[in-house]
Amino acid sequence: MEKYDVEALVSTTPENTLYVSDFQSLSQWALRGVSVFTVLPRDAEPAIVAPISDLDLYADEPSWIKDIRCYGTFYIELPEIQKLMESEERLANLLKGVKPDETAINGLVKVLKDRGLENKTIAVDEAGITCLMWNELENKLPKAQIRAGASIFKEIRMVKTVEEIDKLKKAAEISEKALDVALQAVKEGVSETELAREFEVTVVKERAVPFITVFGCGSRSAFPNAMPSNYKLKRGDIVRFDGGCVYRNYCSDIAISAIFGQPSEKHKKYYTAILRGTTEAINNIKPGVKACDLFSIALETTRKTGIPHYRRHHCGHGIGIEVYDMPMVRPADSTPLEAGMVLNIETPYYELGFGGLQVEETVVVTDKGCEYLTTPIEELLVI
């Protein structure tokens, strides 16, 4: 806040609200248009504004933020005389003291005024608020300077804490375990859908949630977003997986390519190129290196090693609560790397009629270089 000369940050998206408050609104995730705000002043107590229907979530898993304001209408009856569990007692006390506002914006304005921010500079995450709500906020706080704040939240989230890194590593481990199970089911005639089911069932058994499951086989592996279909696997097919899971709100995103049967010379040549492109970029990761430099290394190495016509818009991204955190490994992103950033590095290649090949690794930037959170891939997998 000091860096950008603002007196308060206001989160609006489910991801940023979860990040700053540890509070997760089921309504905000599930229902389009439901708002939750977290107000983080520089010099005053923070507060959450949430629908009253989600007050039980706050009571069940309390946030570190003690001031929660509610809006809307919802009914939970209070007992006359009965001993309650601890979380029930918390909810009962919250319900007794709450006076819901009519709308989320009214609740937000009230918090900002209570904190003496009505004539201050406030950075609001524009990604989770409509134009109408933004205009209403400006009209109700005419002396405040309302700025767009999504980029500030992205910057804050780039460098991970030790706890975040542990969750990201666990998410990657679960995805790798589930992928191993899926690949064990590879045989002639198995469908992409059946492979995806093996992956997703294992993810759920490991107490995570499937995020994206791309299984493209044969020439369908050239479809970047190949949703599992009834395509039946044949010998000589590429099996390309890209996806992951969410573990305790943190994402994994891994990718592998395998050949079912005997790989062709083109399979081997092109796979070697993309693998070296990925590993050479990873080998150059250290604090101070720019994200765009990693892109250039990945691109040029892939071209020199076997795919001279290789093209790509990005060769990786940060990962965290969202699968695409900052920085982006692309030409336009000159963000210098810092210890604690977690990056996915990838050099996928898609060619219709041939197929798609992909390697995607997850690493954490350290003081002297980086460490893998995934198991390093060293050669083409042949099944």
Whether 266 and 130 map to the same domain: the answer is: no
Place of tokens 């071209």: 303
Whether 169 and 146 map to the same domain: the answer is: no
Q: Which CATH number goes with the domain that contains 124?
A: 3.40.350.10
Whether 365 and 226 map to the same domain: the answer is: yes
Whether 153 and 182 map to the same domain: the answer is: no
Alpha carbon distance 48, 146 (integer Å): 18
In DSSP terms, which residues pair with 316 in a beta bridge?
345
Whether 104 and 58 map to the same domain: the answer is: yes
Over residues 59-85, the pLDDT tens digits come to 999 899 999 999 999 988 888 777 888
Residue ranges in 141-264 assigned as alpha helix (H): 150-158, 162-184, 192-205
**Mapping DSSP to helix (H, G, I), strand (E, B) and coil, where does residue 40 land?**
strand
What is the mean predicted confidence (pLDDT) over 138-158?
A: 97
Q: Which of 99-103, 275-279, 282-286, 335-339 has the lowest mean pLDDT?
A: 99-103
Whether 215 and 314 map to the same domain: the answer is: yes
Whether 119 and 218 map to the same domain: the answer is: no
Domain membership flag for residue 3 = no
Domain membership flag for residue 37 = yes
Whether 198 and 312 map to the same domain: the answer is: yes
Q: Which domain holds residue 178?
A: 162-382
Whether 236 and 376 map to the same domain: the answer is: yes
In DSSP terms, which residues pair with 257 in a beta bridge?
240
Is the pLDDT at 2 greater than 80? The verdict is yes
Residues of the chain with pLDDT > 90, as a percent, come to 91
CB distance 345 to 296 below 8 Å: no
Please tell me whether the overall predicted TM-score, pTM, comes out greater than 0.75 for this model: yes
Alpha carbon distance 240, 258 (integer Å): 6
pLDDT for the residue numbered 320: 98
Over residues 36-61, the pLDDT tens digits come to 999 999 999 999 999 999 999 999 99
Which is nearest to 142 in space by CA: 181, 101, 100, 113? 113
Over residues 4-36, the pLDDT tens digits come to 999 999 999 999 999 999 999 989 988 888 999
Over residues 347-358, the pLDDT tens digits come to 999 999 999 999
What is the mean predicted confidence (pLDDT) over 149-176?
A: 98
Residue finishing a domain among 105, 138, 157: 157
pLDDT bucket at 89, cuts 50 / 70 / 90:
confident
Alpha carbon distance 20, 98 (integer Å): 23
Residue finishing a domain among 141, 157, 173: 157
Which is nearest to 299 in space by CA: 263, 326, 335, 273? 273
Whether 82 and 194 map to the same domain: the answer is: no
Cα angle for residues 241, 273, 229 (degrees, 5° grid): 20
Residue finishing a domain among 108, 130, 157: 157
Whether 123 and 186 map to the same domain: the answer is: no
What is the mean predicted confidence (pLDDT) over 121-127?
A: 97
Alpha carbon distance 113, 247 (integer Å): 37
Give 107-150 as a DSSP string: HHHHHHHHTT-TTSEEEE-GGGS-HHHHHHHHHHSTTSEEEE-H
Contacts of 265 (CB under 8 A, 6+ apart): none
Domain membership flag for residue 373 = yes
Q: Which CATH number goes with the domain that contains 236?
A: 3.90.230.10
When divided into structural domains, the chain yields a total of 2
The two three-digit tokens of residue 317, written as one number:
């991204």
Domain membership flag for residue 1 = no
pLDDT for the residue numbered 78: 86
pLDDT for the residue numbered 83: 83
Domain membership flag for residue 2 = no
Domain membership flag for residue 55 = yes
What is the mean predicted confidence (pLDDT) over 359-372?
A: 98
pLDDT for the residue numbered 269: 98
User: According to the 3-state scheme, what is the secondary structure of 45-99?
Assistant: CCEEEEEHHHHHHHHHCCCCCCCEEEECCCCCCCCCCCCCCHHHHHHHHHHHHCC
Alpha carbon distance 360, 376 (integer Å): 9
Place of tokens 């992409």: 192
Alpha carbon distance 179, 240 (integer Å): 11
The two three-digit tokens of residue 244, written as one number:
């992951």
Whether 168 and 118 map to the same domain: the answer is: no
The two three-digit tokens of residue 226, written as one number:
């190949």
CB distance 334 to 365 below 8 Å: no
Cα angle for residues 379, 380, 381 (degrees, 5° grid): 110
